[in-house]
Amino acid sequence: MNREALSRAALAGAVAALLTACGGGGSGAGSGSSGSSSSSSSGGAAVVVDVERVFPNLGFSSPVELLQAPGAAGRWYVVEQAGVVRAFPNDAAATGAEVTTVLDLSAQVVSGGETGLLGMAFHPDFPADPRAFVCYTTGSPLVSRLSEFRSRDGGATLDPASERVLLSVAQPQSNHNGGHLAFGPDGYLYLGLGDGGGSGDPHGTIGNGQDTHTLLGKILRLDVDVPPYGIPAGNPFAASNLCGAGGSGAADCAEIYAWGLRNPWRFSFDAATSQLWIGDVGQDAWEEIDRIATPANLGWRCREGAHDYNTSCGTALHLVDPVAEYGHGVGESVTGGFVYRGRQYPALVGRYVFGDFISHRLWSIAADVPASSVFAVSGGTDAGFGISGFGEGVDGELYALSYSPGAIYHVLAR
């Protein structure tokens, strides 16, 4: 999400909704479609993608992420923006009395607008490796902090006293914090950070997105099995310096994997191809979906989507265009999703599902859309709520969360 998007939503009287996830075999029946449906297509026959309410007895406060621990389909975790991680059993009839508190960081998290507890990921070997990682904003002046916590009870709770701060990045403004976390198929931890806020990436002479001396406007890739963290050999500036102590340095930052991002609001890896998919929130005109398999410069602030924006951006070369984009007549704040690899909806297999926080639209595009062409997104389904995030169960089924009220929806094909 970005502050401009939230302002537009307020002016329009929009109701925000973020993560929708329901999982596994026992998630049960939904309560019907939340909105009228239409088809979206690319690289194949049209597919109608829609949502229906699940876990109807549950509600959460400003949820921003929904996830399961590796291989553990019996429990869902919900990250609430104000700094609390909740859990509940993967049972369609689950009630509020069964919701438990896994971690409470509300006393140290700065929350509001685009700040807060913004991302969480379990170590791929969890629970044998009992660590979970979170990203949150804290302090004055504001910083984005990446920390690890340990579970001493198989994931029922995370011990707040076990916190170890891995990385801190100074935030010049309170918006465009990014904050999403995910482990890639390579076993490394990826962290997305926005460009530091403001309009048009006004930072420095070329903007933070293009400045490889800062961690802002980037996706980082870290080896968290080497304390405090190591740098994978394939990072483009792996031989350079670490910038994590303050978020910037005098040389290229070794932590960088991808750059040229404005505010990556959710990214994911395709379980079948390992490709990285990114929803990057646009400025005034274009929202974009990026797909990469290797490190890349994704263009911001030189370009917004596939269009020139501010060419005073240094000697940027080899900018990678998005695989899909849409203009602000369609939506105004993209929310990245997942490539569907579940079994319940064969027509949806191999399609990337994503949405928009402001227009409430929901789309899918073929995951093999050619990299050489930018697919123009239109139509889609009216989900009936602002889509602020998606979740993927260990079985490959997809879900979406409503930010306000904090309800959970199952993504389906009709």
CA pair distance 201, 99, nearest whole angstrom = 40
Q: What are phi and psi of 320, to 5 degrees?
A: -100, 120
> Where do we find the tokens 């804290």?
138
Confidence check: pLDDT of 365 > 60: yes
> Where do we find the tokens 């306000």?
404
For position 44, what pLDDT does the model report? 52
pLDDT over 90 percentage in the chain: 83
Confidence check: pLDDT of 37 > 70: no
Confidence check: pLDDT of 316 > 80: no
CA pair distance 117, 390, nearest whole angstrom = 16
Strand ranges of the sheet holding 351-356, from the earlier edge strand across to the other edge:
334-339, 351-356, 361-366, 381-382
Three-state SS at 192: strand
Average pLDDT for 181-204: 97
For position 246, what pLDDT does the model report? 78
Inter-residue contact 357 to 387 (CB < 8 Å)? yes
Q: For the segment 137-155, what is each residue's pLDDT rounded down to a tens digit?
A: 999 999 999 999 999 999 9
For position 91, what pLDDT does the model report? 98
User: pTM of the full predicted structure?
Assistant: 0.91
At residue 45's C-alpha, the angle toward residues 39 and 51, to 5°, is 35
Question: In whole angstroms, how far apart are CA 364 and each of 8, 22, 168, 331, 380?
Answer: 24, 19, 35, 15, 8
Inter-residue contact 81 to 35 (CB < 8 Å)? no
For position 208, what pLDDT does the model report? 97
Q: Categorize the per-residue pLDDT at 290 as very low, low, confident or very high, splitting at 50, 70 and 90.
A: very high
CA pair distance 210, 221, nearest whole angstrom = 17
Average pLDDT for 285-297: 98
For position 317, what pLDDT does the model report? 80
For position 45, what pLDDT does the model report? 59
Burial (Cβ within 10 Å: 0-12, 13-18, ≥19) of residue 25 = exposed
Tokens of residue 65, six digits:
């992420």
Residues 6+ positions from 50 with CB-CB distance below 8 Å: 33, 34, 35, 37, 362, 381, 383, 411, 412, 413, 414
Instruction: List the domain boundaries for the chain.
Output: 3-413
Residues 6+ positions from 152 with CB-CB distance below 8 Å: 130, 159
Q: What is the CATH number that goes with domain 3-413?
A: 2.120.10.30
For position 203, what pLDDT does the model report? 96
Inter-residue contact 272 to 280 (CB < 8 Å)? no
Average pLDDT for 183-194: 98
